[in-house]
Amino acid sequence: MERLEIKKGQILQRKGDTNTKVYQVESGLLRSYSIDEKGKEHIFMFAPEDWLMADNVPADLPADLFIDALEDTVVITGAKDFDKGHDTVKLIKRIGALQKRVIMLMSASAAERYEHFLKTYPQITQRVPQRMIASYLGITPETLSRVRKA
Amino acid sequence: MERLEIKKGQILQRKGDTNTKVYQVESGLLRSYSIDEKGKEHIFMFAPEDWLMADNVPADLPADLFIDALEDTVVITGAKDFDKGHDTVKLIKRIGALQKRVIMLMSASAAERYEHFLKTYPQITQRVPQRMIASYLGITPETLSRVRKA
DNA sequence: TTTATTTCTTGACCTATATCAATGCATAGC
DNA sequence: GCTATGCATTGATATAGGTCAAGAAATAAA
């Protein structure tokens, strides 16, 4: 357990890295993302204050995601330790959020996704560029721009 | 905790129902799905033997998903009890699977999703109709048919 | 075995979103 | 203050997948 201060733009984890830590955000903003074989970024999650950032693959496998800071950020790092220190209620809430996200990705239009994002994460909306919101929603910046204009 | 035998086609839970149970599958096959405002079905998950079927919203809120049996099925029902009876390692694995699913929905083509499904769930492929696989993958039966033909 | 229903496939056409390029605006760096 | 870079918007075009309908095949029910 360790307290880290990192600068905007600094990378905490790259795909393929050993993957043994989780990051509790004290202040600032992290994101995790993957890069597909066309080189396109797909943001999996943002983590502002009080959120836990983790790459959810077992600690004995290489990382699936990049993790970096979108603002100067302070985190408390913890080891991935599956047998203790986890709040079951928080894990189940996270599963619930992912359930809704999967259903939305299968069924909602770009506009509907954006509307939902605005309502659910109004604070994050103010802190990240539009192109990152587009990436998180699974659409292009151009499509997001058109959706916002409509 | 109770052991239930249900018939193919029988519904265990409807959207809006009270939502206080989880279902451990002993034999058979369950699915959970939502219906969007156009009346279209979106399958969230299949649960064959040894899988746990749950609607991952808190027990004090109404259900988000329908759950029904695709075959004659035997389940052990349990109460949603967030403070005990949960295997943290299994919850984290489930989050990991959903993480990969979200990234795939944002970045993979229909063909890539189908290919991945075949590799990951070969047994389920044999037990459910194509139209349900399409629904789970977030594509239409016509698209799946064309992808398979290519 | 026959009939009814469901599922799958295919063709033709449509649509939501992607791609590409260009331009303007905002922000960062010097 | 100026220049460079990043971001957002817009137009034109392309594309992946959706929609609709019809017919064939498979499965279920009688």
Q: What is the pLDDT of residue B102?
A: 98
* Nearest C-alpha in B relative to A55: B96
Say if residue B80's pLDDT is above 90. no
| Region of residue A46 (phi > 0: left; psi between -120 and 50: alpha; otherwise: beta) | beta
Place of tokens 């790092």: A77
> Looking at the partner chain, which of B65, B82, B98 has a beta carbon nearest the beta carbon of A89?
B82
Q: What is the pLDDT of residue B88?
A: 84
Q: Please write the tens of the pLDDT for every residue from A114-142.
A: 999 999 999 999 999 999 999 999 999 99
Six token digits for residue B17: 């129902």
| Assembly ipTM | 0.94
Please state the domain extents for chain A: 1-82, 87-150
Question: Which of A43, A93, A102, A115 is the mutation pick for testing B, counting most B CBs within 10 A?
Answer: A102
Say if residue A82's pLDDT is above 80. no
Six token digits for residue B87: 């295997």
Range with lowest mean pLDDT among A34-48, A69-83, B126-140 = A69-83
Sign of CA dihedral B132, B137, B140, B141: negative
Instruction: Find the length of chain B.
Output: 150
- Tell me if A107 and B44 make a contact (CB, 8 A cut-off): no
Strand C-proximal protein residues, Cβ less than 7 Å: A 38, 40, 109-111, 138-140, 142-143, 147; B 129-131, 141-142, 144-146, 148-149
Place of tokens 């590799």: B119
Say if residue B62's pLDDT is above 90. yes
In this complex, the residue with its CA at the shortest distance from the C1' of nucleotide D16 is B109
Q: How far is the CA of B104 from the C1' of C20 (A)?
A: 25
Inter-chain Cβ pairs, chain A and chain B, closer than 8 A: 100
Q: Concatenate the DSSP letters of all residues of chain B into one string.
A: -EEEEE-TT-EEE-TTS---EEEEEEES-EEEEEE-TTS-EEEEEEE-TTPEE---S-TTS---SEEEESS-EEEEEEE--TTSS--HHHHHHHHHHHHHHHHHHHH--HHHHHHHHHHH-HHHHHHS-HHHHHHHHTS-HHHHHHHHH-
Looking at domain A1-82, which CATH architecture does it have? Sandwich (2.60)
Closest Cα of chain A to B7: distance in Å?
26
Q: Report how far residue A45's alpha carbon sits from residue B98's, in angstroms, rounded to the nearest whole number.
A: 12
